[in-house]
Amino acid sequence: MKNKYILLRHGETRYQAEKLDVLYTKDENPDLPITENGKEKIKIVAKELKNKGIDLIYSSDYFRTKQTSKIVADELELDIKFDSRLIDTNFGVFHGKTGEEYRKFFSDKKDRFFKRSPEGENWRDVRERAAAVITEIEKEHNGKTILIVSHADPVWLLAGYLKGLSEDELLEQRHMGGLWPDVGQYIEP
């Protein structure tokens, strides 16, 4: 890679604050805001990121990531490029259902790389669309430090892509937590 990447997961929403094991509803997903606590934590993260020499910010265009990236952009005095390819996973018919219902649809975690929920996408789909953003950035820029603001699955899958990990290695890293940031946390793969 010609550029350095920092990946930030959006700030806390009510789903994380209330520890809900429910996938965002289809209608609420794009418009869900971060909590006041989430905003405060992102302000702290933004101050940490000030020392990272970030040149550009790319963000999912969902409201929670827009809020998160705006807080950081204001601190760093940078503009944001919004890209719909960085949005959260489309869980299809499982939006609004429990995470347990969604997980039961798959025979195992590796199944989620190639099996799609009805009307949804799989992890390969998410990785492919998010990695396309990196491919374009690599063509346009050289020697930059770029912040990507996204969601849990895209952040994890992009981190694996940037590190050149196989799907098995990605799953192992996910279980260890190394490439799976909590809300409002960033990683430098």
pLDDT for 27-69, tens place per residue? 999 999 999 999 999 999 999 999 999 999 999 999 999 999 9
Q: Residue ranges per domain, the chain?
A: 4-187
User: Does the pLDDT at position 86 exceed 90?
Assistant: yes
118-127 pLDDT tens trace: 999 999 999 9
Sole residue written with tokens 């990447």: 5
Specify the long-range contacts of residues 161-168, CB closer than 8 Å, at least 24 apart: 161/127, 161/130, 161/131, 161/134, 162/1, 162/5, 162/134, 162/189, 163/189, 167/110, 167/113, 167/123, 168/110
The 10 Å Cβ neighbour count of residue 70 is 16
Query: Could you say which DSSP state residue 34 is in?
Result: P
Strand partners, 80: 57
pTM given for the model: 0.96
Could you please state the CATH topology (level 3) that the domain comprising 4-187 is classified under: Rossmann fold (3.40.50)
Confidence of residue 175 (pLDDT cuts 50, 70, 90): low
User: Does the pLDDT at position 178 exceed 80?
Assistant: no
User: Does the pLDDT at position 74 exceed 80?
Assistant: yes
Strands 4-9 and 186-187: antiparallel
The confidence score (pLDDT) of residue 76 equals 98
The mean pLDDT of the chain is: 96
In angstroms, the CA 17 to CA 181 distance is: 16
